[in-house]
A and B are shown apart, each in its own frame.
Chain A
Amino acid sequence: MAVVDVNAWVGSWPSQSINAGAAEVRGMLKGVGVERIFMAPLDAAWAQNPHLPNDLVYDAAQRWADVHPVPIIDPTIATWKGEVDRAQRHSGVRLVKWLPAYAGYELAAADECAQALVEADLSLMVQTRIEDPRGQHPLAQVPDVPVQEGSDLARRHPELTVVIGGVPWSVIASYADTCRELRNLYFDVSQADGMDSLSVLIHSGMGDQLLYGSHAPLFVPLAGIARIVADVDEVEAAAILGGHAEKLLGLTA
C-alpha cells in the first residue's frame, strides 16, 4: 500500500530542541515506509513573515520528487496573493497550510484567501495544534484553533478541500455528523491518540475523511503508523495511509 504523509514538517522547534533538515525528515519517514511526503516549514510558526521559510520546502521538492511542498499562506501578510500564485505555479504543490493560531487571525476573516485557493485549485490544511498546550514553553503559549472554525470554513467554501490538522481523536469523533454533511472536510490523524481511536472513528462513519499524518520531526514517525496498522483492516488502512490522499491531492494518474 502507498503511504502518503500529509502532515510532515521541516525545520526547527527550539523549545523541544528539534532542528531537522529536509534530508533528515525524508530519511526518517522513508525508514518507516512513507513514499510521498507533504512537507511544511516549521519555522513559519514563529516567523514575522511566515512566507519566507517556504523556500525550505520548495528547495526540498527540487531535490526529491517524493517531497511535495506545503507552503504556509498567511492571509495577514500583505503579499499573500503572490504566495498563492507561487504555490499555484509549482507543479508539486497540492496543499497549502494555514497556521491561524500563530499568526493571530480567525478563519472567518480569511474567506478571501480561501476563495483564492479554490480558484488556484489548491487544497488547504488548517493546523489547529502543533504542541499540546500543557507542554508549551511558558513564554510561548498558543491555544488550539477551535475545530468549529475549520468546519464553518468548509461549509462556507464547499469547493475547497479543508483538512483539519493536529486534532485529538475525541474532538474528531465529535464531528462525525458534520463530516456526513460536509464531504469536503477531512482530518489528519497525526494527533488522534487513544486505544482503538481509529476503529471508533471508522465505526462512526468518518473513515473516508481520515488522512495519515506523521507530525514528524516533532513526533516519532513510527507512532502515526502504529495507530493505524495495529487496529484497522487492510482496506481501511490502505485508504487512510495513502489512498484517500492520492485521490484528494491528485497523486494518481
Chain B
Amino acid sequence: MATLGELRARVLPPCPALDVHVHPLSCFSPYRIESVEQDVRCLREAAQRSGVTKVCVFSLHPTCPREPTVAQCQEANDYVLRMRDLAPDFFLPFCYVNPMYPGESVVEIRRCVGEEGMVGVKLWVSRRATDPGLDPIVGESVAQDVPILQHAWRKTTGNLEGESTPGDVAHLARRHPRARIIMAHLNGCNPRGIEEVADCPNIFIDTSGGDPERGVVELAVARLGARRVLYGSDAPIRHFGVSLAKVLGAELSDSVRRELLWNNAARLLPARAGVGVI
C-alpha cells in the first residue's frame, strides 16, 4: 500500500520542468485573487507542488475580452511584468497582442520585448493564422529573436471566428520560415493536426490544453521528433500536474522526457531568458 509521499514522488518530473503555457490567476482563477502578489504566490506554489521549475506566462487581461483593445493588451502586459519583477527566477513573460491591431502590436512588442525584456509573443485568437494581418507581428518577433505562441484547435463542434486550426498555423510557418512558432494545445489539435504541421520544422507543439489522453504525446514525438514537442499546461485552466502526467506517463525514454520538459523550450527562448540546455 503506497504512502502519500510515495504517490507524490511518482508524479514529480525526473528533471527540471519549464512550462511554456501559463496564464495568471487573475484571468482564470478558481478563487478570488486580490492582488498581483497573491497571484504570484498561489501560481508559483501550485506549480512547485507539481514539480514545475519555471513558467512562460501571458495574461489575456482579467476580463478576457473577446476583442481586447490595445489598451487592454498593454494592461495585461504590465501585469505580467509585475509578476516577473516579483519572481524573476520563476516567470518568463510573453507579450500579449491582438492581431486586429498589427501596427500597434509591433509597437507593443518593441516596448515589452525590446525594452522590458519579455522573452516571447502570444497572439490572441482574433484572426486566423492565414491572415496577412499577422505578418508584421511575426516579422517583429523574428527581428526581436523571440518565439511566437499561436493558439490552435480542431474543434468538431466548430472553431470560433478567427480561431486557427493547425493547418492555418502551417500556412503562417511557411510564410515566415525564420519564425519560431509554438503551436498550443496538442490534445486539441489531435492526430490530424499533428500531420498538418509535420513538414513545418519551425512549428513546435506544446502539450497544453485538452484532456490527458493516452498516446498523443508519443504520437507527436514519433511524427515530429523529440525536439518539436514541449511541455505546457494551460494552467490555471488545467492542472500543472495533470498536464505533466501527459509527458511523465508517456512511453518515452528519460532523455526524450528531458527534451520535452526543458531543453526544447530552452532552445527556443532567447539567451536573455537565462535558460540553458541541461
What is A's interface to B at a CB cutoff of 8 Å?
Answer: 1-3, 16-18, 32-33, 35, 132-138, 141, 169-170, 173, 191, 193-197, 200, 216-227, 229-231, 234, 237-238, 241
Contact = CB atoms under 8 A, between A and B. Distances in A.
Which 6 pairs of residues, A with B, have the shortest CB-CB distance?
A226-B241, A195-B236, A220-B249, A223-B212, A222-B249, A223-B245
Interface in B1-59: 1-4, 6-8, 10-11, 25, 30-31, 42-43, 46, 49-50
A193 B239 contact: yes
Nearest to B46: A195
A3 B46 CA distance: 23
Nearest to B31: A200
Nearest to A34: B2
B246 interface: yes
A174 B184 CA distance: 29
B126 interface: no
A239 to B, nearest CB: 12
16 contacts: A1-B1, A1-B4, A2-B1, A16-B215, A32-B10, A133-B157, A135-B187, A135-B188, A135-B210, A194-B238, A196-B30, A196-B46, A219-B212, A226-B239, A230-B8, A237-B4
Contact of B4 (A17, A200, A229): A229
A18 B10 CA distance: 24
A197 B4 contact: no
B153 A134 contact: yes
B70 to A, nearest CB: 29
Contact of A195 (B3, B4, B211, B235): B235
B240 A195 contact: yes
B190 interface: yes
Nearest to B235: A195
Given A195-B238, A200-B31, A219-B214, A134 B6 contact: no
Contact of B214 (A32, A137, A220): A220
Given A196-B236, A223-B242, A230-B240, A217 B10 contact: no
A133 B10 CA distance: 31
A135 B190 contact: yes
Contacts of A134: 153, 155-157, 188, 210
Interface in B99-149: none
B256 interface: no
Given A220-B250, A230-B49, 14 more contacts: A2-B1, A33-B2, A135-B155, A135-B156, A135-B188, A136-B156, A193-B238, A193-B242, A196-B239, A222-B245, A227-B239, A230-B8, A230-B239, A230-B241
B213 interface: yes
Interface residues of B, number: 45
A32 B9 CA distance: 11
Interface of B: 1-4, 6-8, 10-11, 25, 30-31, 42-43, 46, 49-50, 153, 155-157, 187-188, 190-191, 210-215, 235-242, 244-246, 248-250
A1 B2 contact: yes
Given A1-B2, A194-B30, A231-B49, A225 B10 contact: yes
A217 B214 CA distance: 7
Contacts of B239: 193-197, 226-227, 230
Please indicate which of the listed interface residues A191, A193, A226 has the most CB atoms of chain B within 10 Å of its own CB: A226
A219 B238 CA distance: 15
A18 B241 contact: no
A243 to B, nearest CB: 12
Contacts of A170: 30
Contacts of B25: 195
Please indicate which of the listed interface residues B1, B3, B187, B245 has the most CB atoms of chain A within 10 Å of its own CB: B245
Contacts of A169: 30
Nearest to A203: B31
B50 A230 contact: yes
Contact of A33 (B7, B153, B191, B248): B7
Nearest to A132: B211
Nearest to A237: B4
Nearest to B239: A227
Contacts of B238: 193-195
Given A133-B157, A135-B190, A225 B214 contact: no
A238 B4 CA distance: 8
A169 B25 CA distance: 17
Given A32-B10, A225-B11, A231-B46, A216 B157 contact: no
